[in-house]
């Protein structure tokens, strides 16, 4: 079992060792529909074979001296009845195939979504969102089309190709050479067709993912595009990607246009007729046998014709399935540890010689410190020094490369992921809000039912209640995706309210008041003071007013812990700490000791 960060309560397991086994394991969830569909499909072909046989017998009757209208009417009614039965069986076969296809599509979509929820942040950080969306939508939909009509037509191709040839052999083995030769040449031509089609199908699915990824990036970054007047450049870029996708479609069409079996079938029909007439002239066959044989030979036209589409749909579906399986089978380094420790966190956090590397580059090296329960630890350092990365090791968003992160003396890897993360809250500078109501966004991090009164209470604490009530729908206002309808300060206050409601044991504030004006900040500072009480807090900020709250300050430089201590201690002995403020604003000189100012 691969590592994962999330497992649903009920989950069906599938064989992901290959595309074929994966699809079969999905289909076998519905064995009754599969078996019934196969029986119906077989019934359709058996019924189809009876029609030319009856027609041949009717011709023999007409050629005879004692042909009666009653007998011929019986043949006509029998053909009509078989045709009606064939239509009903065809309808039922298509119905069961559509049920199986839709259920497989649903199951694959659910399987992929659960799998993505279980991937680590490192995995997601290396993916293009648009390409992931293409796999979760278009590739999964292509899998549906592959099953029905793709595999449905493929099954019809197989049965309609084999059964008529068997029936011809039962009629007369002397008639077999022409259809058998056609079958051999057909398979040879089909092999070449698939060899040319396979790389094109894979390229089409990959190019669609690339096209969708570029589109998603442009729309997500539309403000950047517009502010830099890059509309024309993005349009040109999109047209180039769309042209590449179109070119692959044209290439696929050219391959299909050179499909030889259709031409081969025409020659087979002519040669078969000539051969049957030759045998008839030698009294080896009756006229009815000739009609029956030609009817069976004509049945080969359908599998020959549909094979060009069936194999194309199957190849496109297979290419999409390979892209989906690549995500499902991708390794992730963090496991949820469902059997791990589950208990209330007291709040002691210790870093024991911790190192971390991201994509081969060292981000943190040899970090060691201890935070007591209820302490506030400020983390400062220049941009890129590893401040945010350090806090993301506490709740295992990232996994340490060396050393240990301990909470209450227990390695975070020993804790149950759910228990660990449910007691740690993070308020980032870039707050993410879902396209849901404000009330739902505030209550997002709480698993228990939450009353409106509780939501309003924490919103008031976070100084968000007043601006929320300024909206027409109040707490029922639906914010845009990522909260784009709110200002930066409003989004941060919603995030702070969310943290109040979650009531975490460990709190991480990552420059969480950066987008709030001074007047509002004073109010939120008081609210933050309340929420910090009794919790272990990690505070990433450059605001001196917040740093002075800290019981201890960590100074990071180049991924290493340069120094730690109180504000006064660091001002005296740490040049790195003093430089953080000296270069930001001259007003900080007012708080420096006289000896430092004079340096």
The mean per-residue pLDDT over the stretch 372-399 comes to 91
- What mean pLDDT, rounded, does the chain reach? 87
pLDDT at 588: 41
* CATH 1.20.1560.10 domain extents, the chain: 19-328
Predicted confidence band of residue 197 (pLDDT cuts 50, 70, 90): very high
pLDDT at 593 over 50: no
Task: Express as a percent the part of the chain with pLDDT over 70.
Answer: 93
Res. 590: pLDDT tops 60: no
* d(C-alpha 401, C-alpha 434), whole Å: 32
CATH of region 345-423+540-589, choose from 3.40.50.1100, 1.20.1250.20, 3.40.50.720, 3.40.50.300: 3.40.50.300
- In whole angstroms, give the CA distance from residue 530 to residue 486: 25
Q: pLDDT-derived band of residue 343, with 50, 70 and 90 as boundaries? A: very high
Specify the 3-state DSSP secondary structure of 555. strand
Residue 195 has pLDDT above 70, yes or no: yes
Q: Are 541 and 524 in contact (CB under 8 A)?
A: no
Report CA-CA distances (Å) from 319 to 17, 101, 248, 393: 15, 17, 14, 37
How far apart (Å, rounded) are the C-alpha atoms in residues 5 and 516? 34
25-57 burial, b if ≥16 CB within 10 A, otherwise e? ebbeebeebbebbeebbebbbbbbbbbbbbbbb
Q: Which residues contact 336 (CB under 8 A, 6 or more apart)?
A: 4, 5, 6, 7, 118, 416, 417, 418
Q: What is the pLDDT, as a whole number, of residue 364?
A: 94
- Residues pairing with 352 in the sheet: 404
Residue intervals in the chain for CATH 3.40.50.300: 345-423+540-589
C-alpha 566/C-alpha 596 separation (Å) is: 16
Q: Check pLDDT > 70 for residue 390.
A: yes
Mean pLDDT of the region 1-26: 88
What's residue 156's pLDDT?
83
**Which pLDDT does position 583 carry in this prediction?**
54
What was the pLDDT predicted at 546? 78
Asked whether 542 and 461 are in contact (CB, 8 A), the reply is no
104-117 pLDDT, tens digit per residue, is 999 999 999 999 99
- Give the Å distances, CA to CA, from 348 to 97, 110, 369, 419, 539: 58, 38, 11, 15, 15
302, two tokens = 């359908």
Average pLDDT over residues 220-237: 88
- pLDDT greater than 80 at residue 509: yes
Return the structure tokens found at 492.
């941060």
SS3 category, 234: helix
Q: What pLDDT does 342 receive?
A: 93
Segment 450-485, tens digit of pLDDT: 999 999 999 988 888 999 999 999 999 998 766 777
Q: In whole angstroms, what is the distance from residue 597 CA to residue 590 CA? A: 8
Q: Name the DSSP class of 478.
A: B
Spatial distance between the Cα atoms of 207 and 244, rounded to a whole number of angstroms: 7
The pLDDT score that the predictor gives to residue 587 is 43
**Confidence band (pLDDT; 50, 70, 90) for 549?**
confident
For residue 230, the SS3 value is coil
The pLDDT of 511-516, averaged and rounded, is 62
Is the pLDDT at 355 greater than 90, yes or no?
Answer: yes
Question: With contact defined as beta carbons under 8 Å apart, do 85 and 328 qualify?
Answer: no
Nearest to 440 by CA among 486, 490, 476: 476
Burial group, residue 377, by CB count within 10 angstroms (0-12, 13-18, 19+): buried
How many Å apart are CA 343 and CA 422, to the nearest integer?
Answer: 11
Q: What is the pLDDT of residues 262-283, one digit of tens each?
A: 889 999 999 999 999 999 999 8
Helix (H) or strand (E) holding 110: helix 69-117
Q: What band does 595 get if pLDDT is binned at 50, 70 and 90? A: very low
Query: What's the pLDDT score for residue 58?
Result: 83
**Among 41-45, 318-322, 389-393, 407-411, which is the least confidently predicted range?**
41-45
Q: DSSP letter at 343?
A: S
List strands edge to edge, sheet with 376-381.
Answer: 424-427, 506-510, 536-540, 376-381, 552-557, 560-565
The listed CATH number (1.20.1560.10, 1.10.10.10, 3.40.50.1820, 3.20.20.100) that belongs to domain 19-328: 1.20.1560.10
Q: Which of 147-151, 582-586, 589-593 has the highest mean pLDDT?
A: 147-151
Which one is predicted more confidently, 354 or 163? Answer: 354
pLDDT at 597: 34
* Residue 4 clears pLDDT 50, i.e. is over it: yes
Helix (H) or strand (E) holding 410: strand 410-411
DSSP state of 437: B
pLDDT in the model for residue 596: 38
User: How far is C-alpha 112 from the chain's CA centre?
Assistant: 5
- Provide CB contacts within 8 A for 143, sequence distance 6+: 23, 104, 105, 108, 317, 320, 321, 324
Contact assessment for residue 350 and residue 406, using Cβ atoms and an 8 Å cutoff = yes
């Amino acid at each position: 079992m691969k590592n994962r960060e999330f497992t649903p309560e009920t989950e069906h397991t599938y064989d992901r060792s290959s595309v074929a086994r994966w699809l079969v394991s999905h289909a076998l969830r519905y064995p009754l529909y599969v078996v019934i569909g196969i029986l119906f499909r077989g019934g359709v072909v058996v019924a189809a074979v009876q029609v030319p046989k009856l027609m041949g017998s009717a011709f023999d009757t007409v050629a005879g001296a004692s042909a009666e209208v009653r007998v011929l009417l019986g043949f006509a009614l029998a053909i009509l009845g078989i045709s009606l039965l064939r239509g009903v069986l065809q309808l039922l076969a298509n119905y069961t195939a559509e049920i199986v296809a839709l259920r497989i599509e649903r199951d694959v979509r659910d399987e992929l979504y659960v799998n993505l929820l279980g991937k680590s942040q490192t995995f997601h950080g290396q993916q293009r969102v648009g390409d992931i969306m293409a796999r979760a939508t278009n590739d999964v939909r292509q899998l549906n089309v592959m099953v029905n009509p793709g595999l449905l037509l493929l099954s019809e191709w197989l049965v309609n190709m084999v059964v008529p040839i068997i029936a011809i052999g039962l009629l007369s083995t002397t008639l077999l050479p022409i259809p058998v030769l056609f079958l051999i040449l057909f398979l040879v031509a089909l092999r070449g067709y698939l060899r040319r089609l396979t790389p094109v199908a894979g390229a089409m699915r990959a190019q669609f993912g690339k096209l969708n990824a570029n589109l998603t990036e442009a729309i997500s970054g539309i403000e950047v595009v517009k502010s830099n007047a890059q509309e024309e450049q993005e349009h040109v870029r999109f047209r180039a990607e769309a042209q590449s996708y179109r070119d692959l479609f044209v290439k696929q069409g050219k391959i299909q246009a050179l499909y030889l079996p259709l031409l081969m079938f025409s020659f087979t029909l002519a040669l078969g007729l000539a051969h049957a007439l030759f045998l008839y002239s030698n009294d080896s066959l009756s006229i009815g046998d000739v009609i029956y044989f030609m009817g069976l030979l004509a049945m080969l036209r359908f599998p020959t014709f549909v094979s060009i589409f069936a194999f194309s749909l199957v190849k496109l579906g297979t290419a999409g399935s390979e892209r989906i399986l690549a995500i499902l089978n991708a390794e992730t380094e963090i496991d949820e540890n469902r059997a791990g420790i589950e208990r209330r966190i007291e709040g002691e956090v210790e870093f024991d010689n911790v190192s971390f590397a991201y994509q081969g580059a060292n981000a943190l090296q040899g970090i060691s410190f201890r935070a007591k329960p209820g302490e506030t630890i400020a983390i400062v350092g220049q941009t890129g020094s590893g401040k945010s990365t350090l806090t993301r090791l506490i709740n295992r968003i990232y996994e340490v490369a060396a050393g240990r992160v301990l909470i209450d003396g227990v390695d975070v890897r020993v804790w149950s992921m759910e228990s660990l993360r449910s007691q740690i809250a993070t308020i980032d500078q870039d707050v993410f809000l879902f396209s849901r109501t404000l009330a739902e966004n505030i209550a997002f991090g709480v698993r228990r039912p939450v009353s409106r009164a509780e939501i309003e209470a924490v919103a008031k604490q976070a100084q968000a209640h007043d601006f929320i009530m300024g909206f027409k729908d109040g707490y029922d206002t639906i914010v845009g995706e990522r909260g784009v309808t709110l200002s930066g300060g409003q989004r941060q206050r919603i995030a702070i309210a969310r943290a109040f409601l979650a009531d975490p044991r460990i709190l991480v504030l990552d420059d969480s008041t950066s987008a709030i004006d001074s007047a509002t900040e004073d109010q939120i500072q008081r609210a933050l003071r309340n929420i910090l009480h009794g919790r272990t807090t990690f505070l990433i900020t450059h605001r001196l007013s917040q740093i002075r709250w800290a019981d201890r300050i960590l100074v990071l430089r180049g991924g290493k812990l340069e120094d730690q201590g109180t504000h006064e201690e660091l001002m005296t002995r740490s040049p790195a700490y003093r430089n953080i403020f000296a270069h930001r604003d001259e007003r900080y000189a007012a708080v420096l000791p006289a000896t430092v100012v004079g340096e």
